[in-house]
Amino acid sequence: TSQKIFTLAMVRKTNALLLGLKKKGFGEGKWNGFGGKVEKDETISEGAVRELEEESGLVAKCLTKIGILEFEFVGDPVLFEVHVFDVTQYEGEPVETEEMKPQWFPEDGIPYEKMWPDDILWYPLYLKGIKFRGHFLYQGYDTILNYTLTQMDHL
């Protein structure tokens, strides 16, 4: 199988999480962190910083790798590998862009029903500061056939 590397930056402040409503493309209509593809000439974290600024206007000053999520789709040989980062120090205020409409959510008010089905499984670990590696087998884009989610001490 081939692997496509993506980034996902989760921006947090005291008891609140910044999510963006994806306005077009993959994941349209879902709330999510900010991210995209990693270009050939950049590291994964450089890609995460670039996508966060492109999609939200925020400039990450400090980001921590907190998870790796692998997504497999029945019948599709391409494996998605999503590198998840926690951003606690940033410059600027979130702005709506062509891609994303940003909104702060309280940690106990995450709109899971309007997010990818895997989020409700790994967000609780993320919000407790637990680093994780997960592998999800999807059938289509709405059904998780099975998954593994493992706590990691170092990423």
Stretch that binds ligand CJ6, among 31-39, 58-66, 89-97, 99-107 (CB under 6 A): 31-39
Q: Which residues 6+ apart lie within 8 Å of 74 measured at CB?
A: 137, 138, 139, 140, 145
Distance CA 43, CA 117 (A): 28
Q: Largest alpha-carbon pair distance within the chain?
A: 42
Site for ligand CJ6 in 95-154 (CB under 6 A): 116, 118-119, 138
Of all residues in the shown chain, the one whose CB is closest to ligand CJ6 is 116
Are the CB atoms for 66 and 155 separated by under 8 Å?
yes
The reply to whether 36 sits near ligand CJ6 by the rule CB under 6 A is yes
Which residues make Cβ contacts (< 8 Å) with residue 14, sequence separation at least 6?
Answer: none
Residue 21 beta carbon to ligand CJ6: minimum distance, rounded to whole angstroms = 13
Site for ligand CJ6 in 58-97 (CB under 6 A): 71, 82
Binding site for ligand CJ6 (CB under 6 A): 6, 8, 27, 32, 35-36, 71, 82, 116, 118-119, 138
